[in-house]
Amino acid sequence: MAACLQSNIRLNLNNIVGGKCRSLTDQSRTPCRIRCAAASPGKKRFNIALLPGDGIGPEVISVAKNVLQQAGSLEGLEFNFQEMPIGGAALDLVGVALPEETLSAAKQSDAILLGAIGGYKWDNNEKHLRPEMALIYLRRDLKVFANLRPASVLPQLVDASTLKREVAEGVDMMIVRELTGGIYFGEPRGIKTNENGEEVGFNTEFYAAHEIDRIARVAFETARKRRGKLCSVDKANVLDASVLWRRRVTALASEYPDVELSHMYVDNAAMQLIRDPKQFDTIVTNNIFGDILSDEASMITGSIGMLPSASLGVSGPGLFEPIHGSAPDIAGQDKANPLATILSAAMLLKYGLGEEKAAKRIEDAVLDALNKGFRTGDIYSPGNKLVGCKEMGEEVLKSVDSRVTATV
Ligand code: IPM
Ligand code: MG
C-alpha cells in the first residue's frame, strides 16, 4: 500500500514533468512510507500541512479544509492536518516569516495548502522581514519550479467578467509559470550607493538552460493534454535571458510534434489577453511575466477570488494556493471568496495526491453552489444570492454531500 501510494504520486508528477526530469530513485517521500504503513486498512492516509498565513488566509483555509476533508472521506481518504504559521502571522509569533518548524512540517507533508501572505502591518518592514519572503523561500526550498495557474470563464460567471460576454465566454487557458528562478532569485541584487553617491537598486533576470528546459517540458506536456497549443511568452527583442528562453523552448518543440508552438512578446501578450483571450490554450512564461499575466487573466474570469494554483517539483510535496493575496481590507469580515482556495484543494487532490475522483467531487460541488446562485461580493451580479465566506463554504459542503446522496 505504502509503495503503491508513493509511486502513484511520483507517477503523477512525472506525467506532468516528463522527460529528463524523472527521478525514480528519489527517497524524499520516506516519511510518507512510515505513515502509510500505519494506516487503517482500506483507507489511504495523507499528511496535509495547512499554512493559513495572513489577512483572509485563515478564513479561506478553514472553509477549504472542511471541503477537502469531506470530499476525501467520501473517497476513502483520511487526512491528518498540521496547521503552521507563516508570513506576518509567523513574524508576530516568532520573529521570522518562515520558521524552521513550518518549513520542516511542509517538507514532511504529502501536500501543502496555503492561504495568503502579507498585510499593511508589515508593509514597511525591511526586505528580510517581509511576510512575502516566506512564500519565495518556501517555493525555493520545496523546489516547486512549475506553477500551474488555470484561468477559465465559468458559464455561471460570464457576467462577472469585466470583458464583454462575447470576448469572455469560453475562455479556458492554463498559465505555466516558472516559479523558482528568474529575476525573483537572480544575483547580483540589492540596493547600494554608486560612485556618484547615488542609491541604485538592481536585480538580475537569470535563467540556466536546464531551468528553461524543465518548465518548457511541463508546458508541452500540459498543452498535449489540453488543446495542443502552447504559446511561450518572453521579451526576446530586448532581454538576453529571453533570447535563451526562446531558443531552448524552440529546440524542444521537435520532441512534441503534436503541440503547436508559438512565441509572443510579453507586451503583446498582455494586450492579446484582453483583445481575444480565447486564442490562448497553454501559456508558458518566466517567473515575473507569469506573476503579472496570471493576475490579468484572473480578471477575465470574473474575479481573482476564483483562481487556484498548483506548484510542483520533480519530487516531494506540492504547494497549493489561491493566486489572490491576503486582502487585508476585507480580512476578518467574512466577505472573502473561498472558492479559489477550495479549488486549490481540488488541485491538491488531483496533482498532489493523484486522487482525481475526490478532486472532481470538489469541482462539481463548486459548480453546483454557483448554479444555485450563491455568490460572494466579488462575483455578485443582480438576481443571485449574496453570501459571505462561511456560507459559501457551507453551500459547497452541502453540494459535496448531496451529490453523494444523488449518486448512491
Ligand atoms: C503570487 C504573488 C507572490 C508572487 C507574492 C505574494 C510574493 O503575487 O503568488 O502571484 O509574486 O509570486
Ligand atoms: Mg502575483
Average pLDDT in the 263-288 region? 98
HSE at residue 62, side-chain half, CA atoms within 13 A, is 12
Lowest-confidence region among 5-9, 78-82, 199-203, 232-236: 5-9
Our answer on whether the CB atom of 132 is closer than 6 Å to any ligand 1 atom is yes
Lowest-confidence region among 18-32, 185-199, 341-355: 18-32
Please say if the pLDDT value at position 84 is more than 90: yes
CA of 177, nearest ligand number: 1
Q: How many residues does the chain have?
A: 408
Ligand 1, atom 11, lies closest to the CA of 291
Q: Which three cell numbers stand for residue 33?
A: 512510507
Residues 253, 228: contact at Cβ < 8 Å? no
Average pLDDT in the 255-260 region? 98
CA of 132, nearest ligand number: 1
Convert the pLDDT of each residue in 189-246 to its tens digit: 999 999 999 999 999 999 999 999 999 999 999 999 999 999 999 999 999 999 999 9
Q: Report the separation in Å between the CA atom of 221 and the middle of ligand 1, taken as the mean of its atom positions.
A: 24
Average pLDDT in the 160-183 region? 97
The more confident residue out of 88 and 30 is 88
Q: Which residue has the cell 444570492?
A: 385
Residues 313, 328: contact at Cβ < 8 Å? no
| pLDDT computed for residue 42 by the predictor | 76
- Given the CA of residue 135, which atom of ligand 1 is nearest to it? 7
Q: What CA–CA distance (Å, rounded) separates 332 from 57?
A: 10
Lowest-confidence region among 31-35, 122-126, 306-310: 31-35
Ligand 1, atom 12, lies closest to the CA of 291
Tell which residue, 169, 272, 173, has the closest CA to residue 223. 173
Predicted TM-score (pTM) of the model is 0.89
Residues with Cβ within 8 Å of 389's Cβ and at least 6 positions away in sequence, in order, are 56, 59, 60, 63, 334, 335, 336, 337, 338, 376
Q: Which three cell numbers stand for residue 44?
A: 489511504
Q: H-type helices in 128-256, by residue range?
A: 132-142, 165-168, 209-225, 240-252
Average pLDDT in the 146-152 region? 97
Residues 72, 349: contact at Cβ < 8 Å? yes
Q: How confident is the model at residue 31 (pLDDT cuts 50, 70, 90)?
A: very low
Lowest-confidence region among 7-16, 195-204, 210-219, 357-366: 7-16
Our answer on whether the CB atom of 281 is closer than 6 Å to any ligand 1 atom is no
Q: Report the separation in Å between the CA atom of 231 and the middle of ligand 1, taken as the mean of its atom positions.
A: 22
| pLDDT computed for residue 332 by the predictor | 96
Mutate which of 135, 147, 148, 184 for ligand 1? The one with the most ligand atoms within 8 Å of its CB, which is 135
Query: Average per-residue pLDDT in the chain?
Result: 90
The residues annotated with a catalytic role in the active site are: 184, 235, 267, 291, 295
| pLDDT computed for residue 43 by the predictor | 86
- Given the CA of residue 116, which atom of ligand 1 is nearest to it? 6
Q: Report the separation in Å between the CA atom of 252 and the middle of ligand 2, taken as the mean of its atom positions.
A: 28
Beta strands in 38-90 (DSSP E): 44-53, 77-83
Which amino acid appears at position 343 of this protein?
L
- Given the CA of residue 136, which atom of ligand 1 is nearest to it? 7
Average pLDDT in the 94-116 region? 98
| pLDDT computed for residue 40 by the predictor | 59
Please say if the pLDDT value at position 186 is more than 90: yes
The long-range contacts involving 124-131, CB below 8 angstroms and separated by at least 24 positions, are 125/91, 129/91, 129/97, 130/97, 131/53, 131/54, 131/86, 131/87, 131/88, 131/90, 131/91, 131/97
Please say if the pLDDT value at position 407 is more than 70: no
Our answer on whether the CB atom of 323 is closer than 6 Å to any ligand 1 atom is yes
| pLDDT computed for residue 405 by the predictor | 53
Average pLDDT in the 120-148 region? 96
| pLDDT computed for residue 12 by the predictor | 40
Our answer on whether the CB atom of 291 is closer than 6 Å to any ligand 1 atom is yes
Percent of the chain with pLDDT over 90: 87
- Given the CA of residue 118, which atom of ligand 1 is nearest to it? 6
Determine how β-strand 111-116 pairs with β-strand 318-320: parallel
Q: Report the separation in Å between the CA atom of 288 and the middle of ligand 1, taken as the mean of its atom positions.
A: 9
Lowest-confidence region among 36-45, 68-77, 101-110, 202-211: 36-45
